[in-house]
Amino acid sequence: MKDEEGRGTDEDGAGSPLPSAGEGLGVRGLDETVNMQLPATDRRTVLAVAAVCAAVGGCGSGKESGAGPLAVVVSGDTAGWIVPCGCASEQWGGLPRRASYVTWLGARADVIVADVGGAGPAGGSPYDRAKLAAILRGEAAMNVAAHNLGASEVALGPERLGQLAQETGVPFVSANTRDAQGRPLAEPLRVVEAAGRRVALVGVLSREFATPEIQVQSPRQAVLDALSAAGPCDAVIVLAYLPLDELRELAKTLPEVDAVVGGPTKQPTPPERHGPVLLISSTNQGKFLARLDAPTPGAARWTGSIVKLDEQWADEPGQVANIEEFYRELGRADFTPADTSFAPSVVALPEGFRIAGTETCRTCHQHDEECKPWDASRHAHAWESLRRTGAHVDPDCQRCHTTGYGLPDGFQSVRRSPQRVNVGCESCHGPSGAHVADAEVHTAFYARAKDHCTGCHDRENSPEFRYEEYWPKIRHGEGGLRIEN
């Protein structure tokens, strides 16, 4: 929610200024921004300088005399959305925009960067692991102070988590997760010194994400246990990968902390008060950030706001370079659908259920001009749209820009099946090997071809899709052919 001045507010009406639409576009040059190596007079993004404090005394006993402006920027539930794919206009989020905002804010206040968790795709495949590692490298370049373990992180298992921490340098936190032997998966909290304050960042995970390998304890008790062993702190912020009902319950029953920042909540949750505790959530593929502002002189409470990462935030060059390196890694790996978590199931298929290829279709259908609408359509040039951005090596994009992704004789990878690029006939009509062998046998999706449109023309990638409006652009197979541009 916003007040009359356009500021994000909590229930008490306190607010923190948000940038106007014209601000934040002057991103620093590549030589200054890679790994956030800014000049000492400008660099305000703060790296975590201490792990768990061993001294006894509990957080909340520190002092804030002489403290300057401080903001904590928290992302969450990125879910593999490392950069907007570009299939539609007004797509939000992405690490390049996130870093641009952090850089802009860092010129105005000390900034602590953190993440609630859920950064990777929902799977543990080789592709999923590579993408999560790229996202974590991007976070490391933003000097992330703490990354809580969410669902996609714990799904990798303890061994792979340890490898990722070493490979990327990202400091994981989790106060309530243990491996099968009862050993902590990460340190429970990190204490960051910034703007004359000591801020504790504690991580917890919902018990619904426990696995045979991962034990998950009570979030509330885990936070209390972690704080009892920590040294003096000026503020405590809980990074909580919990659904909204659990987030609210945690905030209501944990007055010892200053703020609870959550996800996954499907949509971002504007700031709300539960007694002395501020609750806010950043979620939805990292398209929004939660910003927490430390109390100003004379104020007692932290305030919060939701930041939308839309097109006003330019792409930060260091993060663009990170994505380009990720694409080079994908090109070398040449992942097949079996290397991803979204390969179609191909068990117990009927005889002849295989991709024949658009050129095979053309041998019979060229004379009745049924191929002309396709030749003039974007479907016929779908692969080229990926090559322009370098995303043709990304399986997440390949599955909607190729024919028969992961199906028998369909697209397998860039090097293995270059003849199956573009959205061909069988993307809509289904694998047609049986039809080619016997023209009396209908194509696999003969009776429901139009039902397959929304598999790719979904809300994210094609928000304005309407079958009755799009079909006339490729109308074919009805005698009187016509093409509408």
Of 124-138, 291-305, 337-351, which range is least confident? Answer: 337-351
Condensed to tens digits (0 to 9), the pLDDT of residues 191-240 reads 999 999 999 999 999 999 999 999 999 999 999 999 998 888 999 999 99
Condensed to tens digits (0 to 9), the pLDDT of residues 430-475 reads 899 989 888 888 887 877 777 778 788 887 777 777 788 877 877 7
pLDDT greater than 50 at residue 34 = no
Question: Based on C-alpha coordinates, what's the Rg of the chain?
Answer: 25
Condensed to tens digits (0 to 9), the pLDDT of residues 125-143 reads 999 999 999 999 999 999 9
CA-CA distance, 97 to 5, in Å (whole number)? 24
With cut-offs at 50, 70 and 90, classify the pLDDT of residue 367.
low
- In terms of average pLDDT, the best of 63-72, 137-146, 357-366, 462-471 is 137-146
Condensed to tens digits (0 to 9), the pLDDT of residues 234-272 reads 999 999 999 999 999 999 999 999 999 998 988 899 999
CA-CA distance, 46 to 143, in Å (whole number)? 7
Between 258 and 345, the higher pLDDT residue:
258
Pairing relation of β-strands 70-75 and 110-115? Answer: parallel
pLDDT greater than 70 at residue 115 = yes
pLDDT greater than 90 at residue 6 = no
- Domains belonging to the chain, first-starting first, are 8-327 (3.60.21.10), 346-474 (1.10.1130.10)
Which pLDDT does position 89 carry in this prediction?
A: 66
Of 86-90, 119-123, 241-245, which range is least confident? Answer: 86-90
Of 80-89, 115-124, 292-301, which range is least confident? Answer: 80-89
Which pLDDT does position 478 carry in this prediction?
A: 62
pLDDT greater than 60 at residue 41 = no
